[in-house]
Every structure is written in structure tokens, then in C-alpha cells.
């Protein structure tokens, strides 16, 4: 189900939320983790996720697909209201055990990504970084890009989880992490 405010979310034991720029691949990643093609709505058109979309993993917890940030074609007013909703969710939701910030592995972290990362750090929200679209990098680019993304985020390369929803890269690694995060229920 979906909610337009943290106060209207359904009950859950524990939640892992996926955030990131519009089009970075949040919905695709949730589909990969759940072995489904179209559980979460995927679109070439950015800004297609507008609510907090909840996907219950039976008996374990809930994955939350959040609206993307920074979609320029939406009015500033809509963008601000949506971001406030997501920020409130991240600050207030007791069951939220991990926020997964997705960065586009093909283009690297943008200014907006780094602002969000700074906000997560300042706010003390538990977070992890996933770099998406690994399949879009040429083999020769991969090592350097992995180092560059880590340096930009002020992390070690091993701290960043690389995935490809298109190829299934990183799926097992991320699934075991998600299980651990969901087991941290309050």
C-alpha cells in the first residue's frame, strides 16, 4: 500500500527505505530484491513514484520505495512538499532501521546526492550507499569509478554496494544486508 504521510503508514516491525534522485533506479532495485518485474512501478519518465510505497516482506518487515528527489520538471512547491514528507518519514519513523541512498553509478554522485548524504549524517539517520546501474559501466572504467564514488562520499570503496537491477549484480549481497537491517527492529 501507499501513504502520503508518515502518520498514515501501515503497521510494521521494521522498515528499510530506498531514497535517491529521480530515475536512479529505486523501484527497479525493489523489484530485483523481490524477484518481481513490476511490483514497484518503474518508468523511463522520472518522478513516477510520488508516495511512500510499502512492500511487506511477510514476517520480516517492509521495504519502502520513496519518491525521488530533484526532479526539475515538477514545480518547486511540489518538490518541497514531497521532500518534506520524506524527511519527516526518515526523522520520525521508529521502525526505520536503514535508509539506503542510491547514487547513479553511471554518472557518480551529484551535488544533490551529496547534500542528501550530508543531511543524513547531520541528522543521525542510519544510512548506507548503493551505487546503481553497474551494467552501464565498461569493465575498464569500473575500478576507477568505484574509487571515485567512494572518495566523493568520503567513504572507503568497500563501503559502497554496487548493484545492477538489469543484470542482478549485487543482489545476494544486498539481500543479506536487508535481512540484517530488518532484524534490527526496535
Binding residues vs Mg ion (CB under 5 A): 26-27, 49
Pick one of ligand GTP, Mg ion, none as the site partner of residue 25 (Cβ within 5 to 8 A by kind): ligand GTP
Residue 46 or 157 having the CB closest to Mg ion: 46
Give the span between the Cα atoms of 77 and 89, in whole angstroms: 18
Pick one of Mg ion, ligand GTP, none as the site partner of residue 132 (Cβ within 5 to 8 A by kind): ligand GTP
Residue 43 or 154 having the CB closest to ligand GTP: 43
- Angle (CA) 61-83-86 rounded to 5° is 15
Give the span between the Cα atoms of 27 and 4, in whole angstroms: 17
Binding residues vs ligand GTP (CB under 6 A): 20, 22-28, 42-44, 46-49, 68, 132-133, 135-136, 164-166
Q: How far is the CB of 41 from Mg ion (least distance, A)?
A: 6
> Cα 94 to the chain's mean position, in Å?
18
**Residue with nearest beta carbon to ligand GTP:** 68
Neighbours of 46 (CB within 10 A): 16
Report the DSSP pairing between strands 2-3 and 15-20. Answer: unpaired
Give the span between the Cα atoms of 76 and 70, in whole angstroms: 9
Q: How far is the CB of 186 from ligand GTP (least distance, A)?
A: 27
Pick one of ligand GTP, Mg ion, none as the site partner of residue 136 (Cβ within 5 to 8 A by kind): ligand GTP
Give the span between the Cα atoms of 24 and 161, in whole angstroms: 14
Q: How far is the CB of 183 from ligand GTP (least distance, A)?
A: 25
Q: How far is the CB of 40 from Mg ion (least distance, A)?
A: 6
Residues 6+ apart with CB under 8 A from 118: none
Q: How far is the CB of 98 from Mg ion (least distance, A)?
A: 18
Residue 13 or 34 having the CB closest to Mg ion: 34
Amino acid at each position: 500500500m501507499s501513504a502520503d504521510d508518515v502518520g498514515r503508514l501501515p503497521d510494521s516491525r521494521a522498515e528499510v527505505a530506498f531514497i535517491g534522485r529521480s530515475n536512479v533506479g529505486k523501484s527497479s532495485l525493489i523489484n530485483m530484491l523481490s524477484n518481481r518485474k513490476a511490483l514497484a512501478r518503474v518508468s523511463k519518465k522520472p518522478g513516477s513514484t510520488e508516495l511512500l510505497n510499502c512492500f511487506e516482506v511477510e514476517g520480516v518487515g517492509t521495504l519502502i520505495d520513496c519518491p525521488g528527489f530533484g526532479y526539475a520538471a515538477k514545480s518547486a512547491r511540489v518538490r518541497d512538499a514531497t521532500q518534506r514528507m520524506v524527511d519527516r518519514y526518515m526523522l520520525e519513523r521508529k521502525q526505520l532501521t536503514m535508509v539506503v541512498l542510491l547514487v547513479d553509478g553511471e554518472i557518480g554522485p551529484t551535488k544533490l546526492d551529496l547534500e542528501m548524504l550530508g543531511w543524513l549524517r547531520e541528522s543521525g539517520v542510519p544510512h548506507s550507499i548503493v551505487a546503481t546501474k553497474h551494467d552501464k559501466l565498461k569493465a575498464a572504467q569500473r575500478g576507477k569509478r568505484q574509487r571515485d564514488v567512494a572518495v566523493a562520499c568520503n567513504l572507503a570503496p568497500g563501503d559502497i554496494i554496487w548493484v545492477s537491477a538489469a543484470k542482478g549484480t549485487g543482489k545476494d549481497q544486498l539481500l543479506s544486508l536487508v535481512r540484517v537491517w530488518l532484524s534490527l527492529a526496535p
